[in-house]
Amino acid sequence: MNPLSGTTLRAFLSAVQIQERVAALGQQLTHDYGGTNALHLIGVLKGAWVFLADLVRQVDLPVTCDFIGVSSYGKRTVNSGVVRLTLDLAEPIADLEVVLVEDIVDTGLTMRFLLETLSLRNPRSLRTCTLLDKPSRRIVPFTPDYVGFTIPDYFVVGYGLDLAGAYRHLPYIAICRPSDSSEETAL
Protein backbone atom coordinates (compact mmCIF):
# COMPACT_ATOMS: atom_id res chain seq x y z
CA MET A 1 0.00 0.00 0.00
CA ASN A 2 1.25 3.48 -0.83
CA PRO A 3 1.96 5.30 2.47
CA LEU A 4 1.04 8.62 0.83
CA SER A 5 -2.39 7.72 -0.50
CA GLY A 6 -5.04 9.50 1.51
CA THR A 7 -2.47 11.51 3.47
CA THR A 8 -3.77 14.88 4.59
CA LEU A 9 -1.64 17.94 5.34
CA ARG A 10 -2.47 20.98 7.44
CA ALA A 11 -0.18 24.04 7.37
CA PHE A 12 1.57 24.50 10.71
CA LEU A 13 4.58 26.86 10.30
CA SER A 14 4.68 29.22 7.32
CA ALA A 15 7.70 29.81 5.12
CA VAL A 16 7.92 33.36 6.52
CA GLN A 17 7.88 32.13 10.14
CA ILE A 18 10.61 29.62 9.34
CA GLN A 19 12.84 32.13 7.55
CA GLU A 20 12.50 34.68 10.36
CA ARG A 21 13.47 32.07 12.95
CA VAL A 22 16.37 30.74 10.86
CA ALA A 23 17.69 34.30 10.55
CA ALA A 24 17.50 34.71 14.34
CA LEU A 25 19.36 31.42 14.86
CA GLY A 26 22.05 32.56 12.40
CA GLN A 27 22.45 35.81 14.34
CA GLN A 28 22.71 33.89 17.62
CA LEU A 29 25.40 31.58 16.19
CA THR A 30 27.27 34.62 14.83
CA HIS A 31 27.17 36.23 18.27
CA ASP A 32 28.12 33.08 20.19
CA TYR A 33 31.00 32.10 17.90
CA GLY A 34 32.15 35.61 16.98
CA GLY A 35 35.52 35.17 18.69
CA THR A 36 36.42 32.01 16.78
CA ASN A 37 38.29 31.64 13.52
CA ALA A 38 35.65 29.40 11.97
CA LEU A 39 32.50 27.48 12.70
CA HIS A 40 31.93 23.95 11.41
CA LEU A 41 28.30 22.94 10.84
CA ILE A 42 27.38 19.28 10.43
CA GLY A 43 24.00 18.62 8.86
CA VAL A 44 22.17 15.42 9.72
CA LEU A 45 20.90 13.80 6.54
CA LYS A 46 18.49 13.63 5.06
CA GLY A 47 16.11 15.96 6.85
CA ALA A 48 18.39 18.83 7.86
CA TRP A 49 19.86 19.77 4.49
CA VAL A 50 17.23 22.43 3.69
CA PHE A 51 17.55 23.98 7.15
CA LEU A 52 21.36 23.86 7.00
CA ALA A 53 21.43 25.54 3.57
CA ASP A 54 19.34 28.45 4.86
CA LEU A 55 21.11 28.62 8.23
CA VAL A 56 24.63 28.79 6.81
CA ARG A 57 23.65 31.86 4.76
CA GLN A 58 22.53 33.60 7.97
CA VAL A 59 25.80 33.08 9.86
CA ASP A 60 28.16 36.04 9.42
CA LEU A 61 31.38 34.08 10.10
CA PRO A 62 33.69 31.81 8.15
CA VAL A 63 31.74 28.54 8.02
CA THR A 64 32.59 25.06 6.80
CA CYS A 65 30.05 22.27 6.43
CA ASP A 66 29.91 18.52 6.36
CA PHE A 67 27.14 15.94 6.54
CA ILE A 68 26.45 12.80 8.51
CA GLY A 69 23.67 10.38 7.69
CA VAL A 70 21.57 8.42 10.15
CA SER A 71 18.34 6.51 9.95
CA SER A 72 15.81 5.72 12.65
CA TYR A 73 12.43 6.09 10.90
CA GLY A 74 12.68 4.38 7.53
CA LYS A 75 9.27 4.72 5.88
CA ARG A 76 7.36 4.84 9.16
CA THR A 77 5.93 7.74 11.10
CA VAL A 78 7.29 6.47 14.43
CA ASN A 79 10.91 6.16 15.48
CA SER A 80 12.13 2.56 15.34
CA GLY A 81 14.36 3.08 18.38
CA VAL A 82 17.38 1.85 16.42
CA VAL A 83 19.78 4.47 15.07
CA ARG A 84 22.18 3.47 12.34
CA LEU A 85 24.90 5.44 10.59
CA THR A 86 24.27 5.65 6.83
CA LEU A 87 26.98 8.21 5.91
CA ASP A 88 30.05 9.31 7.83
CA LEU A 89 31.80 12.68 7.81
CA ALA A 90 34.16 13.44 4.94
CA GLU A 91 36.72 15.29 7.11
CA PRO A 92 38.06 15.10 10.69
CA ILE A 93 36.56 17.47 13.28
CA ALA A 94 39.36 17.46 15.88
CA ASP A 95 39.88 20.95 17.37
CA LEU A 96 36.92 22.46 15.48
CA GLU A 97 33.99 24.46 16.89
CA VAL A 98 31.19 22.13 15.79
CA VAL A 99 27.44 22.64 15.70
CA LEU A 100 25.38 19.59 14.82
CA VAL A 101 22.36 20.74 12.79
CA GLU A 102 19.23 18.58 12.94
CA ASP A 103 15.75 18.99 11.48
CA ILE A 104 13.81 17.65 14.47
CA VAL A 105 14.57 16.22 17.88
CA ASP A 106 11.96 13.98 19.45
CA THR A 107 13.05 10.86 21.39
CA GLY A 108 16.63 12.11 21.76
CA LEU A 109 18.00 8.71 20.68
CA THR A 110 19.51 10.02 17.43
CA MET A 111 21.10 13.01 19.15
CA ARG A 112 22.57 10.84 21.91
CA PHE A 113 24.03 8.49 19.30
CA LEU A 114 25.48 11.37 17.26
CA LEU A 115 26.89 13.27 20.23
CA GLU A 116 28.55 10.14 21.58
CA THR A 117 29.95 9.32 18.14
CA LEU A 118 31.19 12.84 17.37
CA SER A 119 32.62 13.59 20.82
CA LEU A 120 35.05 10.69 20.34
CA ARG A 121 36.55 12.68 17.44
CA ASN A 122 37.74 15.46 19.78
CA PRO A 123 36.08 18.62 18.52
CA ARG A 124 37.03 21.80 20.43
CA SER A 125 33.33 22.22 21.21
CA LEU A 126 30.20 20.36 20.20
CA ARG A 127 26.74 21.93 20.36
CA THR A 128 23.40 21.18 18.77
CA CYS A 129 20.94 23.21 16.73
CA THR A 130 17.53 21.89 15.74
CA LEU A 131 14.78 23.51 13.75
CA LEU A 132 12.06 21.64 15.66
CA ASP A 133 12.05 20.25 19.18
CA LYS A 134 9.42 17.82 20.52
CA PRO A 135 10.36 17.45 24.20
CA SER A 136 7.16 15.54 24.99
CA ARG A 137 8.58 12.55 23.06
CA ARG A 138 11.91 12.30 24.93
CA ILE A 139 13.06 8.83 25.84
CA VAL A 140 16.56 9.96 26.84
CA PRO A 141 17.30 13.28 28.55
CA PHE A 142 18.47 15.86 26.03
CA THR A 143 18.15 19.62 25.60
CA PRO A 144 19.32 21.17 22.30
CA ASP A 145 21.56 24.23 22.56
CA TYR A 146 19.70 26.12 19.81
CA VAL A 147 16.02 25.57 18.99
CA GLY A 148 13.98 27.04 16.17
CA PHE A 149 10.52 26.02 17.41
CA THR A 150 9.26 23.82 20.23
CA ILE A 151 6.26 21.91 18.94
CA PRO A 152 3.60 19.54 20.29
CA ASP A 153 3.68 15.85 19.44
CA TYR A 154 2.63 16.15 15.79
CA PHE A 155 4.08 14.24 12.84
CA VAL A 156 5.27 17.03 10.55
CA VAL A 157 6.59 17.25 7.00
CA GLY A 158 8.04 19.92 4.75
CA TYR A 159 11.17 22.06 4.76
CA GLY A 160 13.32 18.92 4.56
CA LEU A 161 11.15 16.68 6.74
CA ASP A 162 9.46 13.79 4.97
CA LEU A 163 7.03 10.92 4.99
CA ALA A 164 8.51 7.98 3.07
CA GLY A 165 10.71 10.42 1.12
CA ALA A 166 7.86 12.75 0.12
CA TYR A 167 7.08 16.37 1.05
CA ARG A 168 10.69 17.51 1.71
CA HIS A 169 10.22 20.16 -1.00
CA LEU A 170 7.49 22.10 0.79
CA PRO A 171 8.67 25.61 1.81
CA TYR A 172 6.54 25.40 4.98
CA ILE A 173 5.95 22.78 7.67
CA ALA A 174 2.67 20.90 7.76
CA ILE A 175 1.05 18.51 10.19
CA CYS A 176 0.69 15.19 8.41
CA ARG A 177 -1.95 12.61 9.05
CA PRO A 178 -1.26 9.37 7.16
CA SER A 179 -4.29 7.41 6.04
CA ASP A 180 -3.07 4.25 7.78
CA SER A 181 -4.53 4.63 11.26
CA SER A 182 -2.41 1.73 12.55
CA GLU A 183 0.58 4.08 12.47
CA GLU A 184 0.86 6.21 15.56
CA THR A 185 0.30 9.85 14.79
CA ALA A 186 0.15 12.66 17.25
CA LEU A 187 -3.11 14.20 16.16
- Catalytic residue numbers? 106
- Cα 136 to Cα 36, 104, 133, 186: the distances in Å are 35, 13, 9, 11
Cα–Cα dist 181/46, whole Å: 25
Query: Residue 158 carries which DSSP code?
Result: B
Q: Choose among 120, 108, 124: nearest CA to 40.
A: 124
Contact 70, 84 (CB under 8 A): yes
Contact 130, 147 (CB under 8 A): yes
Q: Where does 78-173 have alpha helices with state H? A: 109-119
Cα–Cα dist 2/6, whole Å: 9
Contact 3, 38 (CB under 8 A): no
Cα–Cα dist 171/143, whole Å: 26
